Amino acid sequence: MPTKNTSIHGEWSSRLAFILAAAGSAVGLGNIWKFPYMAGDNGGGAFVLIYLICIVLLGLPIMMAEVMLGRRGRQSPINTMKTLCEQENTSHAWRLLGWGGVVAGVLILSYYSVIAGWSLSYVLESSSGTFKSITETQAGKLFADLIASPLTLIFWHTLFMVMTIFVVARGVSNGLETAVKYLMPSLAVLILVLIGYSLSQGSFMLGVEFMFTPDFSKINEQVLLDAMGQAFFSLSLGMGAIMIYGSYLSQHASIARTSFAVAFADTSIAILAGLAIFPIVFAYQLEAGQGPGLIFNTLPLAFGQMPGGVFFGTLFFVLLVFAAWTSSISLIEPAVAWLVERRGLTRTKASVVCGVFTWLVGLGTVFSFNIWQSYTLFGKTVFDMLDFLTSNIMLPLGGLFIAIFVGWSMRESSVKDEIAIQNPTLYSLWRVLVRYVTPVAVFIIFLHVIGLI
Ligand code: PFF
């Protein structure tokens, strides 16, 4: 049996630290910005139902597999895969999995940072009282003006990238653990405050109905692909982020329990965000399927009306920025760790190199909302393309390969030793999911989308 690998980047101080960091990665713009608009675009209930099924049947098993791979290899995803291929005597082509993850991480962060920039700008708007008694039209104009200005977007995008590089350069666990420990619960409380407001508006049940009454006739390839992509995106799966966090996880922690806790926290926050937002959408007769601007057009109306709105609004957008921040760190970490291991760069240099490159790619997204708005391919702007390619294709493909590697390529003895699920029934269930259910489901959805079935 191969000897255990150790990490040169350090280890989490406890299992809770890992849960917090992984939850920090998972909970982000994906839950609060993206989940509601994806649900809105895809007709609500049917999307939510498929999303939840994807979380349980695909997300959770793959998360366990990904954490397990990280802890077994204890390096950046690229080198983890390289080491495991050697130890398991399998084809070196599996290293591509690590590479795919690095590329996906940089591409996602390039647009993620632009959206986090919108949130930063809304911190300023909220604290300066712009939302007070704002009307639907004014809220719409505020957002439209923001995205119409390349310079403003570049300013906020730059600020967010600098914040990300700053933390990544200092090492992942410094500060991150404490930050997440207080910020995540505060974010949850703030969403509850918003739900409280929504409850008082009389359209709450319309929101609940929209989210939880599935209209099965609405299920088509698009809904399937979007829901699967959103499950991977929201849980940070399929690109090595969770793998690299797993590589810092202590040998004694239970992978199953830890993964469950992270998936549960992530899903709860997304559902709560939906419950906060849709009632407001219906109360003001806004369009649920209006795309990426949804929360920015909706929430100012709520904060503008509620007592203490300036305070709550500012706090909400501050916390949203923090949630995005803890996710962005994990998006760039695989690339940074690889540069440190492979090129011998210091963490600071590696972070700056990756950060500057990602920032440049992000300009494509900035312009896609204004001067390049009319440049489209298959009807998609640069931002739409990046989002579609990463969430709907690269992450599920990464997950598919992780499942095949763990389920079919690794020796079962290694898998069993590392995943260390004590309960035999639970282990068999996980194994069946990873070997059969997950790969087949992802594969079928892909085939469906390209029109082969
Ligand atoms: N899970 C994050 C969110 O929901 O905002 C986004 C993300 C982070 C996706 C890290 C992928 C990733 F590897």
Domains of the chain (ranges; CATH) run 15-449 (1.10.4160)
The amino acid at residue 21 is A
Name the nearest CA neighbour of 30 among 395, 302, 445: 395
239 lines ligand 1 (CB under 6 A): yes
Decide: helix, strand or coil at residue 377.
strand
Q: Which of 37, 106, 262, 327 to mutate to test the pocket of ligand 1 (most atoms within 8 A of CB)?
A: 327
Contact call for residues 84 and 72 (beta carbons, < 8 A): yes
41-44 long-range contacts, CB within 8 A, separation 24+? 41/226, 41/289, 41/291, 42/218, 42/222, 42/223, 42/226, 42/227, 42/289, 43/215, 43/218, 43/223, 43/289, 44/210, 44/211, 44/213, 44/214, 44/215, 44/278, 44/288
Report CA(21)–ligand 1 centroid distance (Å). 12
Per-residue pLDDT of the chain (453 residues; tens, 9 = 90+): 455 777 776 666 677 778 888 888 999 999 999 999 999 999 999 999 999 999 999 999 999 999 999 999 988 888 899 999 999 999 888 988 989 999 999 999 999 999 999 999 999 999 999 999 999 999 999 999 999 999 999 999 999 999 999 988 887 666 667 677 788 888 889 999 999 999 988 789 999 999 999 988 988 888 999 999 999 999 999 999 999 888 888 888 899 999 999 999 999 999 999 999 999 999 989 999 999 999 999 999 999 988 899 999 999 999 999 999 999 999 998 899 889 888 889 989 999 999 999 999 999 999 999 999 999 998 899 999 999 999 999 999 999 999 999 999 999 999 999 999 999 999 999 999 999 999 999 999 888 777 666
Report CA(425)–ligand 1 centroid distance (Å). 31
Q: Which of 330, 386, 392, 402 to mutate to test the pocket of ligand 1 (most atoms within 8 A of CB)?
A: 330
Whole-prediction pTM value? 0.94
* Whole-number CA gyration radius for the chain: 21
Q: Could you say which DSSP state residue 292 is in?
A: G
262 lines ligand 1 (CB under 6 A): no
Report CA(132)–ligand 1 centroid distance (Å). 32
Report CA(307)–ligand 1 centroid distance (Å). 33
The pLDDT assigned to 173 comes to: 63
- Closest protein CA for atom 13 of ligand 1: 236
The pLDDT assigned to 1 comes to: 46
230 lines ligand 1 (CB under 6 A): no
Report CA(354)–ligand 1 centroid distance (Å). 17
The pLDDT assigned to 174 comes to: 63
In the numeric block, the tokens 């809770």 are attached to 16
The pLDDT assigned to 76 comes to: 84
Report CA(331)–ligand 1 centroid distance (Å). 7
